[in-house]
Homo-oligomer: A and B are copies of this chain.
Amino acid sequence: MNDALSSEADVSSAAGIPTSERILSTSAALFREKGYASSTTRELAELLGIRKASLYHHIETKEEILYQICIASLTRIIDEISKSIPAVVSQDDLRTMIRSHVAEIVGTRDFHAVMLTEMRGLTPDHLVEVVALRDRYEELIRDVVSQSQALGILRDDFAAKYLMLCLLNLLNWTIFWFKPGGDLDAEELGDLLASVFLEGASQMSTLGPERGL
């Protein structure tokens, strides 16, 4: 685990990328692995190959790094998912949206995992701002769900809010176990999660012949 972190740091260091640009991604990897509160500026400096004090030429506080990671995560995913949603959605669009979300969270895994699990380490002011952004993302999904219900694409026996939360449940816990390079790649994972959300896990025959359309 430490090997993964240090080798990653070595790569960007060897590539001549400036320290200021390496801080966020190196911190995201560190915070994801050890948690924000348990990650020290010592460790971060060591991963970056500089002394602890040199960090403070680039940042003002450790919390500022967490804040930047959360903002980067949310602006990225809001942008990516917004692009994938047309004015009027179809079931195929839902599938595309789900696959985009999965591709984004596993493709920029460190940033999203830290945003999703370490948000409480933010100062009150930053927390308010980040929660507002997260709420904006959830509203984006909820609106798509709501429209899909009105169009008869999604079931409407539960409020859009709860269908949205079910969907994010299904997608987001993935950050805790998915490892790139395993026997299921990111694209297959997206297909699986989209299919389980839309069609469920029951065998087709118990649900009728239309399964898989």
| Residues in chain A within 8 A of chain B (CB atoms) | 34-35, 37-38, 91, 117, 120-121, 149, 152-156, 158, 162-163, 165-174, 177, 184, 192-193, 196-211, 213
Contact = CB atoms under 8 A, between A and B. Distances in A.
Given A162-B192, A166-B170, A173-B173, A153 B199 contact: no
A32 to B, nearest CB: 10
Contacts of A169: 169-174, 193
A109 B154 CA distance: 30
Contact of A162 (B35, B117, B184, B199): B184
Nearest to A174: B169
Contacts of A198: 200-202
Contacts of A193: 166, 169
A163 to B, nearest CB: 6
- Going nearest first, the 8 A-B pairs with the smallest beta carbon separation are A208-B208, A200-B200, A37-B37, A169-B173, A37-B38, A199-B200, A173-B173, A170-B170
Given A34-B120, A170-B170, A173-B172, A211 B207 contact: yes
B199 A196 contact: no
Given A197-B196, A200-B196, A121 B38 contact: yes
A35 to B, nearest CB: 6
B158 A192 contact: yes
A188 B117 CA distance: 26
19 contacts: A34-B120, A38-B120, A91-B206, A152-B206, A153-B206, A154-B201, A155-B201, A166-B193, A169-B169, A170-B173, A196-B197, A196-B200, A198-B201, A199-B207, A206-B210, A206-B213, A207-B210, A208-B208, A208-B211
